[in-house]
Amino acid sequence: MPGSILRRFYFAMALAPVLGLLSGCAGDTGLITANTEAGATSNFAGANLSNPTAYEPANGPRQIIKNPTLEDVLAKGPLPERAFGNPNAPVKVVKYASLTCPICRKFQRVVFPEFKKTYIDTGKVYFLLRMFPIGRSAGNAAIALRCAPENKHLALYNKFLDQQKTWVSQEVRLDAIYSVAKQVGMTRGQFDSCLKNQSMIHGLQWVKERGRTLGIIGTPNFFIQNKLIKKALDMDGMRAEIEPLLAKTQSASAAPANRQ
């Protein structure tokens, strides 16, 4: 696709062979090592997740925020957030995901339904989903995902993950990516226009670069409040992180009444 901006976006996303990405799981252990840009432990002999084309900011070395505040984590970018639940929920959870990531697929299939029912739907957690594409195919799919209407975003996200085997490859296959996008009503004209949307590409670049400054190294990575977790969590792991935060909130709200 034409355009120097689009090429820069690809350079930011082209970070590992797809074969390596599809071998990043550490097994069905609940706590799974995440796919990373710079490398990851893997059960696949010879998997190489090195990053020979890392994108670096034009204004010098990237400055990492070592101890980000919640305000740092929730800082707004040029694109509206794709978020679910009550914005005033006491706990904020941010997930960084790549659509080519098999560990993200497992989390979405196994953990997310119960997590949503227990925490998002009950108003306890505000959940933000941010793209951190790893690979050119993931980059193209992330653009298409972002062009879907907001009320179809989660449905298309699930379809891209569920159908990874149909579109993920070392070579970008736009027809295969579109075959997924059209399942939520996207026309080919909308899809082609979307991939040329420079403001969209700029916005997605910002999301990923901001993630890097916050310490994100791969997918899935999570922020629970301002705590960075660089691994996938099972439901027990999510509870272990979230319940103490909810208890603190309840204690704080009850404190004035107890002093009377």
CA dihedral for 86, 89, 94, 95, sign (positive or negative) = negative
Instruction: Record the pTM.
Output: 0.79
227 forms bridges with which residues in the sheet? 224
* Superfamily in which the 4-12+67-246 domain is placed by CATH: Glutaredoxin (3.40.30.10)
Lowest-pLDDT range of 40-44, 126-130, 139-143, 202-206: 40-44
Tens of pLDDT along 231-259?
A: 999 999 999 999 999 999 888 777 665 54
The overall average pLDDT reported for the chain is 82
Q: Hey, where are the domains in the chain?
A: 4-12+67-246
- Distance between CA 226 and CA 73 in Å, rounded? 6
- Distance between CA 147 and CA 73 in Å, rounded? 24
Token pair in block for residue 215: 């310490």
Tens of pLDDT along 196-222?
A: 999 999 999 999 999 999 999 999 999
- Distance between CA 4 and CA 16 in Å, rounded? 21
Q: Are strands 125-131 and 221-224 parallel, antiparallel or unpaired?
A: unpaired
pLDDT surpasses 90 at 190: yes
93 forms bridges with which residues in the sheet? 127, 224
pLDDT surpasses 60 at 102: yes
- Distance between CA 205 and CA 224 in Å, rounded? 23
CA dihedral for 206, 212, 218, 221, sign (positive or negative) = negative
Distances (CA, A) of 67 to 94, 96, 186, 201, 212: 16, 18, 40, 28, 13
Distances (CA, A) of 197 to 78, 191, 200, 201: 14, 10, 5, 6
- Distance between CA 112 and CA 25 in Å, rounded? 18
Tens of pLDDT along 32-66?
A: 234 545 433 222 222 222 232 334 455 566 789 99
- Distance between CA 179 and CA 146 in Å, rounded? 16
